[in-house]
């Protein structure tokens, strides 16, 4: 180990060392397994980040040196792809013990990121009970609340006094991790109300739960999309959202931390999709899958590029007579494309936040077009002045008009494309930037030439 490197004493320091020099961090941990056990026990989150910097085989050896309880906490903090790679190097008995005790929603997340072969290999290791739990969750639609929810909830019977409820809740403490809200259910487990811990603590102990709980609370069905759960949690400023089946029976909850994960994931997916990358792709996605996700859109982009080339070829004689036209064409396309991308980003973000109602569509498109016309007018005047200053006055008027028109069109289509895709039931971010580039290139080149 490099003598200039300070030996880590906590999870944060270990994580930073691993990110700067994985080799030094690995050597340190192999020589100081007792310190590794202490850090992993005290800070499983940073310990998980540390393991992700190592080769899976090295990470698996460090996992084997920990107790099962600590390993479970680390696994629940690892990326799903990291878990899949580490599991391939772990003893089957260790894998079976860890997955048996992990939260089911975390295990489901691992299977969702696995290939078919990886999932089959993993299922062969797990015990029958764990397999049944996983298959039951995977039976819900992809990206649904049912796959995300936690089945561990604090629930008490209706009719209890506050004093009786507190006694019952103490017995739930060890089994329920997210004690955010207490749900009141009837004898058939049907949701009747919800109460916060604050209300229970400060209420008169002789008062009944029925009198302090919120009746008919907001809830969600497990088959609905995870984004809807995140939207409800944000809209009503909740810490958790109860999940009920078609018979109104309480089966779980989804928490604000899960909602934040969903929002973060959707933002990343929308950004990737707008450029034609896979919604699920990250820097950790396997090579083969990344190629499968990207290649179709690159092929579409190629076809669209040929479309633009065919259009330009129609002006071959004009370009041959005046080579400066070829030099100035990219200016028109570039400013139009960049201006359109601004509107595109604003509208996609508004759609993600559910800010665009059907009644507001025309207003959104109109405002973005107005912004485009004003910006186009200003940039058109600036380009007219620049060409006159540099002695290219013969091109000034045509270029400035083309710039104005392309910025206007760019903003119009930048706002319209995601709204049209949403109307057609497609993801609004689906390769929007590719289609926008096609429009601004065609309009820009044709308008100028």
Q: Please write the tens of the pLDDT for every residue from 362-379.
A: 999 999 999 989 998 998
Higher pLDDT, 401 or 270: 401
CA nearest neighbour of 241 among 226, 354, 203: 226
Q: Please write the tens of the pLDDT for every residue from 178-207.
A: 677 889 999 899 999 998 888 888 888 888
Q: Please write the tens of the pLDDT for every residue from 307-335.
A: 766 666 666 665 555 556 666 777 777 88
Question: pLDDT at position 318, please?
Answer: 59
Question: pLDDT at position 44, please?
Answer: 94
Mean pLDDT, the chain, as a whole number? 83
3-state secondary structure of 210: helix
Is the pLDDT at 48 greater than 90? The verdict is yes
| DSSP of 250-308 | EEEEEEHHHHHHHHHHHHHHHHHHHTT--TT--TTS-HHHHHHHHHHHHHHHHHHHHHH
Is the pLDDT at 278 greater than 60? The verdict is no
CATH code at 154-251: 3.10.580.10
Higher pLDDT, 248 or 390: 248
Burial status of residue 247 (CB atoms within 10 A of its CB: 0-12, 13-18, 19 or more): exposed
Question: pLDDT at position 426, please?
Answer: 76
Q: What residue ranges do the domains of the chain occupy?
A: 11-139, 154-251, 275-448
The superfamily in CATH containing domain 11-139 is MgtE N-terminal domain-like (1.25.60.10)
Strands 214-215 and 191-196 come out as antiparallel
| DSSP conformation class of 330 | H
Question: pLDDT at position 67, please?
Answer: 94
Detail the DSSP E strand segments found in 134-237: 154-157, 181-185, 191-196, 214-215
Is the pLDDT at 448 greater than 70? The verdict is no
Q: Please write the tens of the pLDDT for every residue from 298-308.
A: 676 667 666 76
At a CB cut-off of 8 Å and minimum separation 6, what does 27 contact? 1
Is the pLDDT at 23 greater than 70? The verdict is yes
Average pLDDT over residues 214-230: 91
Confidence grade of residue 266 (pLDDT, cut at 50, 70, 90): low
Is the pLDDT at 267 greater than 70? The verdict is no
CA nearest neighbour of 246 among 226, 220, 225, 216: 220
pLDDT above 90 covers a percentage of the chain that reads 35
Least confident among 5-14, 122-131, 272-281: 272-281
| DSSP of 231-257 | HHHHHTT-SEEEEE-TT-BEEEEEEHH
Whole-model pTM: value is: 0.64
Question: pLDDT at position 327, please?
Answer: 66
3-state secondary structure of 396: helix
Length of the chain: 449
Is the pLDDT at 429 greater than 60? The verdict is yes
- Contact by Cβ (8 Å): 154, 182: yes
At a CB cut-off of 8 Å and minimum separation 6, what does 10 contact? 39, 42, 43, 46
pLDDT above 70 covers a percentage of the chain that reads 82
Tokens coding 326: 């070829």
Question: pLDDT at position 173, please?
Answer: 65
Average pLDDT over residues 37-47: 94
- Contact by Cβ (8 Å): 105, 148: yes
Confidence grade of residue 2 (pLDDT, cut at 50, 70, 90): low
CATH code at 275-448: 1.10.357.20
Most confident of 201-210, 244-253, 274-283: 244-253
3-state secondary structure of 70: helix
């Amino acid at each position: 180990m490099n003598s200039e490197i300070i030996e880590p004493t906590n999870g944060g320091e270990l994580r930073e060392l691993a990110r700067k020099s994985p080799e030094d961090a690995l050597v340190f941990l192999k020589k100081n397994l007792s310190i590794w056990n202490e850090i992993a026990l005290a800070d499983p989150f940073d310990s998980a980040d540390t393991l992700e910097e190592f080769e899976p085989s090295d990470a698996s050896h460090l996992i084997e040196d920990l107790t099962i309880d600590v390993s479970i906490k680390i696994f629940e903090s690892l990326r799903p792809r990291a878990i899949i790679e580490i599991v391939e190097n772990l003893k089957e008995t260790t894998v079976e013990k860890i997955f048996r005790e992990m939260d089911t929603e975390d295990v489901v997340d691992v299977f969702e990121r696995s290939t078919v072969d990886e999932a089959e290999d993993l299922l062969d290791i797990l015990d029958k009970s764990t397999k049944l739990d996983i298959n039951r969750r995977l039976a819900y639609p992809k990206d649904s609340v049912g796959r995300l929810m936690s089945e561990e909830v604090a629930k008490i019977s209706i009719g209890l006094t506050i004093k009786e409820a507190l006694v019952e809740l103490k017995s739930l403490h060890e089994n329920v991790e997210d004690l955010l809200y207490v749900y009141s259910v009837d004898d058939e487990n049907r949701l009747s109300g919800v109460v916060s811990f604050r209300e229970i603590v400060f209420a008169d102990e002789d008062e009944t739960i029925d009198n302090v709980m919120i009746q008919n609370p907001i809830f969600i069905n497990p088959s609905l999309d995870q984004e809807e759960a995140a939207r409800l949690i944000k809209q009503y400023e909740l810490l958790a959202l109860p999940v009920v089946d078609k018979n109104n029976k309480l089966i779980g909850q989804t928490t604000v931390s899960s909602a934040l994960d969903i929002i973060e994931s959707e933002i990343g997916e929308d950004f990737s999709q707008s450029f034609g990358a896979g919604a699920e792709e990250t820097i950790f996605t396997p090579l083969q899958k990344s190629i499968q996700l990207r290649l179709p859109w690159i092929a579409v982009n190629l076809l669209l590029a040929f479309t633009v080339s065919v259009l330009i070829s129609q002006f071959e004689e004009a370009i041959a007579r005046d080579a400066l036209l070829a030099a100035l064409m990219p200016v028109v396309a570039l400013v139009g494309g960049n201006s359109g991308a601004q509107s595109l980003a604003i509208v996609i973000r508004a759609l993600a936040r559910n800010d665009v109602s059907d009644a507001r569509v025309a207003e959104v498109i109109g405002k973005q077009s107005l912004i485009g016309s004003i910006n186009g007018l200003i940039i058109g005047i600036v380009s007219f002045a620049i060409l006159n200053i540099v002695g290219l006055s013969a091109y000034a008027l045509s270029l400035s008009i083309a710039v104005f028109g392309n910025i206007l069109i760019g903003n119009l289509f930048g706002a319209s494309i995601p709204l049209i895709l949403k109307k057609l039931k497609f993801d609004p971010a689906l390769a929007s930037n590719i289609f926008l580039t096609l429009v601004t290139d065609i309009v820009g080149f044709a308008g100028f030439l």
